[in-house]
Amino acid sequence: MLSHFSSRILLLPLAAATLAAGPAFAKDDAVEAAKRKQLVIVSFDGAHDNLLWEKSRAMARRTGAHFTYFLSCTFLFPKDERAKYQAPHEKRGRSNVGFSQDKDETILRLGEIWLAKLEGHDIASHGCGHFDGGKWSTEDWKTELTFFREALKDAWRNAGVGEREPADWQRFAREDIKGFRAPYLSAGSGLPKALEAEGFTYDASLVSKGPAMPAASGDIARFALPLIPEGASQRPVIAMDYNLYVRHSKGKENPGKSAAFEESTLAAYRDAFAGQYDGERIPLQLGFHFVEMNAGAYWRALDRFLTETCGKADVACVSYVEALDILAKEKKAAGAAL
């Protein structure tokens, strides 16, 4: 069964922006495909369920992957403290994804976040209350992003265990949160300037017709989840578990077909990867949520895909922040070689 959180997040309409910004790491940057690492970038939206934190971290250790976790900051507050949060144009204390159940759950989550950071994963922002910001202004986005960073910075103290805060937590909260993904992939024109003003370096809220290099909007690198062919008809679908869930079972649990959904998903991942690994080697991005939809079909497909993929020659299963660093180094090396 889907959790209360998932039913509220998934049954709202998805509004996705398309990749339309200027060049950042264009595929013709004189980096020969044969010399370029094939990057696989896996991310998780929400990052709330503590058991799935543990499960995903174990998957990463087993496969050698690093992930990006797009955290929703309302899960740093117990529900009896909901009044601390007010999203732009919403009633105080409202969140589409709820809050933490209590302080004990919050403390466990903070520990998972810190362990993930120490293990080399990328902790990024998914905003706070999971609202559609497609019509938000730059100032609206700044308000949400500022609240996220302050909530993360003060999280241990707010949970009543300030003495347990890791020594480097404050620097981490100020400096290491570099990425963002908009809820519902609905960013609007006000987001890039807000991200730049708040010290972010990348956004992963766009959608592209196929695997694409990140584009630039000012100083922000903008990544796009690709459409990939899937199923017998090979109809394109956004490479994200929720979109496959809607494709396969109209957004309702169908555990009886979980194995079939897993196989179809794995085949789509394999084909999308092969198309790049044997071709231009554009990064392949796959998106997930901290919800095991259709009885875990998509997480199982991911585990199998990473197990067979991350150890291949010239493949790096990396976070978004690591991908940016690798792409920048490749671009610099290519320029020096001209």
Q: What is the pLDDT of residues 242-288, one digit of tens each?
A: 999 999 999 999 999 999 999 999 999 999 999 999 999 999 999 99
Please give the mean pLDDT across all residues of the chain. Answer: 92
pLDDT confidence of residue 338? 45
**CATH architecture of residue range(s) 4-18+38-337:** Alpha-Beta Barrel (3.20)
Q: Which pLDDT belongs to residue 9?
A: 43
* pLDDT at position 333: 81
Q: How deeply is 280 buried, as exposed, middle or buried, from its count of CB atoms within 10 A (0-12, 13-18, 19+)? A: middle
Closest CA to 196 of 176, 178, 175, 171: 178
Sorting pLDDT into bands at 50, 70 and 90, what band is 334? confident
Average pLDDT over residues 86-91: 97
What's the pLDDT at 278? 97
pTM (predicted TM-score):
0.93
Q: What is the pLDDT of residue 34?
A: 56
* pLDDT of res. 332: 82
Q: What percent of the chain has pLDDT over 70?
A: 89
pLDDT exceeds 90 at position 135: yes
Q: How far apart are CA 330 and CA 30, in angstroms?
A: 9
Check pLDDT > 50 for residue 27: yes
Rounded to a whole number of angstroms, the distance between the first and last alpha carbons of the chain is: 56
Give every CB contact of residue 96 below 8 A, 6+ residues apart in sequence.
Answer: 8, 9, 12, 129, 130, 131, 183
Say yes or no to pLDDT of 215 above 50.
Answer: yes
